[in-house]
Amino acid sequence: MLTLRDVTVRYGDTAAVDHVSLDLGSGQVLAVLGPSGCGKSTLLRAVAGLEPLSAGSISWDGVDLAGTPTHRRGFALMFQEGQLFAHLTVARNVAYALRLRRTPSARLRARVRELLELVGLAGYDDRLPGTLSGGERQRVALARALAVEPRLILLDEPLSALDANLRERLAGDLRDILHAAGTTALLVTHDHEEAFALADRLAVMRAGRVVQSGGIDQVWREPVDEQTALFLGYARVLRDDAARLVLEAAGLPPAPAVAVRRSALVVDGAGPIRARVESARVTPEQVRLVVDAGGLGRLDAVASLGSRVSPGDEVAVRVDVTRVAVLPIVPAP
């Protein structure tokens, strides 16, 4: 298993990675989630051995990796744009690490075929990377990284260069492939959807520090502070009276702050909160509303498709308890 203790990477005076400690058990997929510039890619490169540590240690199964250069770590790194070798065919890209290990050619060919099938690119052997689409290139990069069964695979925003449609499909595939291969993976991304699609565990990183880590649904349900909640996709944080009203309506004990998603308020005739519809917009799944709910102020809400609500209507709303998160501490506003 991978253990990071107080890992620090400095560029001059600024610490890109600041005392980060993480554990990653075998077979798990950990996503490091953070906005761009938070140091997550530097952290990944440090684990790969591409950035020297200023302090702290990275170890695998208790063995410190400080003296081990990148190519002896037995990790595979998959870059954001794949970084396929443009002068080699798909098959030669995939076989790259196998050739380095002088794998007998019959085994090598069989393994390449198996890997290309695994990533859904059977028959692409002789194509050059330049002729592939972005998604295909990422798949080849994944096959290349998996070829020698690395003990850890490092993924740098593996899906973010792709368009939305492809991203969703490849995310599912990637998760299945990682699980089928039983690979331990460390993934960094700025996209919480990508993290949720792929990872079992989540670490939220901000300004070089890990501010929260844990199981993915635990982090999701209990964001540690307002910024984390907003980064995880919560629409806004309510405080004091507004928080009390929402929690009461949700049947939860009072707390000083609560984060709500856009879909936390649902139009429901039996709901305890009265609100006036200010605007309504139809989307493929539901009707998105902006409502003015007395003491709560102006908030997002949703109604099911087919419910006829229009601006000016008085509606009753309830709170969907799975769509709110109580924040433990509130930083001074």
Q: Strand, helix or coil at 102?
A: coil
Strands 29-33 and 185-189, by their bridges, are parallel
Q: How far is the C-alpha of 248 from the C-alpha of 246, rounded, in Å?
A: 5
Q: How far is the CB of 9 from another protein (least distance, A)?
A: 14
Q: Is 48 in the site for another protein (CB under 8 A)?
A: yes
Nearest to 139 by CA among 99, 176, 87: 176
Contact pick of 62, 69, 284, 333 for another protein (by CB under 8 A): 69
Q: Is 231 in the site for another protein (CB under 8 A)?
A: no
Q: Is 140 in the site for another protein (CB under 8 A)?
A: no
Is the CB of 129 or the CB of 223 nearer to another protein?
A: 129
Contact pick of 64, 87, 314, 316 for another protein (by CB under 8 A): 87
| DSSP code at position 262 | T
Q: How far is the C-alpha of 204 from the C-alpha of 189, rounded, in Å?
A: 10
Is the CB of 181 or the CB of 255 nearer to another protein?
A: 181
Residue 109: partners with Cβ closer than 8 Å, 6 or more residues away: none
Q: How far is the CB of 129 from another protein (least distance, A)?
A: 7
Q: How far is the C-alpha of 99 from the C-alpha of 90, rounded, in Å?
A: 14
Is the CB of 132 or the CB of 326 nearer to another protein?
A: 132
Per-residue binding letters, 49-68, with another protein (x by CB under 8 A): xx------------------
Q: CB of 249 within 8 A of CB of 241?
A: no
Q: Strand, helix or coil at 168?
A: helix
Size, binding site for another protein by CB under 8 A: 34
Is the CB of 32 or the CB of 202 nearer to another protein?
A: 32
Q: Is 37 in the site for another protein (CB under 8 A)?
A: no
Q: How far is the C-alpha of 208 from the C-alpha of 6, rounded, in Å?
A: 11
Nearest to 87 by CA among 143, 146, 130: 130
Q: Is 100 in the site for another protein (CB under 8 A)?
A: yes
Q: Is 12 in the site for another protein (CB under 8 A)?
A: no
Is the CB of 87 or the CB of 169 nearer to another protein?
A: 87
Question: Other CB atoms closer than 10 Å to residue 246's CB: what's the count?
Answer: 24
Is the CB of 160 or the CB of 263 nearer to another protein?
A: 160
Q: Which residues bind another protein (CB under 8 A)?
A: 45, 48-50, 69-79, 81, 83-87, 96-97, 100-101, 128-130, 141, 144-145, 147-148, 154
